Chain A
Amino acid sequence: MMKRDECLKILNQHRGDNAIVVAVYNAGFDWRRISQSPLNYYTVGAMGQGSSHALGIALAMPHYKVIVLDGDGSLLMNLGSLVTVAAAAPPNYYHFVCENGDYEANGSHPIPGRGTVSFAGHARAAGYPHTFEFDALDKFEAEIGGLLTLKGPVFATLKIVIGEKSPHDFAFANSIETHRQFAAAIDEVLAREGR
């Protein structure tokens, strides 16, 4: 098992300047501590929707990597999105699911199928051409660079435990201002590109 924040710190080393990161709930709270960027897009409040927000962004921004930091409980609420994403087949879409087996934000009750369900298996069956599972930090560190060069959609389960705790700032993640800051950053990107 990997500590989530240690795992995300390694991912951040490979993020590059232009990747857009869509992050949900606790993965999002950790990500905000680790990788502050105007191209971070947080989504809470309608649980399970991160993968779908990210699909819209990936379609709109085909020249930018879009990295999704999903949760296991979240993805269970929107499993159909795996099929939708695979069918749309955005080549710039990288879907990471932090699997700790718990509804961490709601009292750490176990998810249905904890320890049995295979998220990478679901993604593979849905049609993702590349699927991975990582449960060791050294292996993740060795492979993440190559994974991010693959043509998407790419899916990776990160088998994690909670690391250093991050502030749960739901008001920040769920605010119009935060969302508008992201849109303004996209405007700057589009202006730079003359679009």
Chain B
Amino acid sequence: MGEIVLSGRDIIGALKAARIEYVVALPDATMSEHVLWPLAKTNDFKLVRVCKEDEGVSICAGLTSCRKRAALLMQYTGFLDSINAIRAIAVELALPICMLVGMLSKEPGVPVVRSKLYSVRIVEPILGALGVDHFCMEGPDDVKMLPAAIDRAYARSLPLAALVGHRVTP
């Protein structure tokens, strides 16, 4: 296994490299300090703060329908809360809704499905059942895959979930 460190600068750089213009977000503890706060303080992205994560799915749908690239940042609990919106909008309408999902409390370096936490373990099987392309970011090599994964989601018009495997550092 490679290095188990996630850099906020790398993640923000990956979003820029993927030409993300809008970030739609609810604060998530894994990304709050070193992704969402820095991102909120720059003019590189337009930030839309939402009250609930399923709103974010729909806002991203409206943006992408008008050819604007967007990323939805949320905690896995928000993902779980948004399953019907993801099913109806991202999956059934085949839209490139790109989600960064913070896996709060997942053990660093441990595969999502082997987490001791039930609520964490079930995320990947649910993504599989939905047919949503996904991968987990644990280190810098994983973050390097993010721009290509987002490009692929837009090229194929299909949703993507990039799981943020543990707390992000600067």
| Residues of A near any B CB (own CB < 8 A) | 22, 41, 43, 45-46, 48-49, 52-61, 78, 80-81, 83-84, 87-88, 174, 176, 179, 182-183, 186-187, 190
Q: How far is the CB of B70 from chain A (nearest CB, A)?
A: 7
**Contact B62 A52, beta carbon cutoff 8 Å:** yes
How does the 8 Å CB contact mask read for B81-101 relative to A, with 1 for contact and 0 for none? 000110111001111000000
**Contact A186 B67, beta carbon cutoff 8 Å:** yes
Q: Does B52 contact A (CB under 8 A)?
A: yes
Q: How far is the CB of B87 from chain A (nearest CB, A)?
A: 8
Q: Does B61 contact A (CB under 8 A)?
A: yes
A49-B58 contact given A80-B51, A84-B50, A179-B93, CB 8 Å threshold = yes
Q: How far is the CB of B80 from chain A (nearest CB, A)?
A: 15
**Contact A190 B51, beta carbon cutoff 8 Å:** no
The one of A45, A60, A83, A176 in contact with B62, judged by C-beta atoms closer than 8 angstroms, is A60
**Contact B94 A59, beta carbon cutoff 8 Å:** no
| Nearest A residue to B62, CB-CB | A56
Write out the residue numbers on chain A whose beta carbons fall within 8 Å of the beta carbon of B51.
80-81, 83-84
Write out the residue numbers on chain A whose beta carbons fall within 8 Å of the beta carbon of B68.
56, 59-60
18 contacts between A and B (CB under 8 A): A22-B62, A41-B65, A43-B58, A46-B58, A46-B88, A49-B54, A49-B58, A49-B89, A53-B65, A56-B58, A59-B22, A59-B62, A80-B55, A81-B51, A84-B49, A87-B49, A176-B93, A182-B65
**Contact A186 B65, beta carbon cutoff 8 Å:** yes
The distance in angstroms between the C-alpha atoms of A163 and B57, with both chains bound, is 33
Q: Does B35 contact A (CB under 8 A)?
A: no
Which of B51, B57, B88 has the most C-beta atoms of chain A within 10 angstroms of its own C-beta? B51
Q: Does B129 contact A (CB under 8 A)?
A: no
Which of B60, B65, B66 has the most C-beta atoms of chain A within 10 angstroms of its own C-beta? B66
Write out the residue numbers on chain B whose beta carbons fall within 8 Å of the beta carbon of A176.
92-94
The one of B59, B64, B87, B93 in contact with A55, judged by C-beta atoms closer than 8 angstroms, is B59
How many B residues touch A, CB cutoff 8 Å?
32
**Contact A59 B58, beta carbon cutoff 8 Å:** no
**Contact A179 B55, beta carbon cutoff 8 Å:** no
| Residues of B near any A CB (own CB < 8 A) | 22, 46, 48-52, 54-68, 70, 84-85, 87-89, 92-95
A52-B67 contact given A59-B22, A60-B62, A174-B92, CB 8 Å threshold = no
Write out the residue numbers on chain A whose beta carbons fall within 8 Å of the beta carbon of B48.
55, 59, 84, 88
The distance in angstroms between the C-alpha atoms of A46 and B150, with both chains bound, is 24
A46-B54 contact given A59-B46, A88-B48, A179-B93, CB 8 Å threshold = yes
Write out the residue numbers on chain A whose beta carbons fall within 8 Å of the beta carbon of B52.
78, 80
Write out the residue numbers on chain A whose beta carbons fall within 8 Å of the beta carbon of B70.
56
A187-B67 contact given A59-B22, A87-B49, A176-B94, CB 8 Å threshold = yes
The distance in angstroms between the C-alpha atoms of A49 and B61, with both chains bound, is 10
Q: How far is the CB of B94 from chain A (nearest CB, A)?
A: 5
The distance in angstroms between the C-alpha atoms of A46 and B93, with both chains bound, is 11
**Contact B55 A84, beta carbon cutoff 8 Å:** yes
A52-B65 contact given A45-B88, A174-B92, CB 8 Å threshold = no
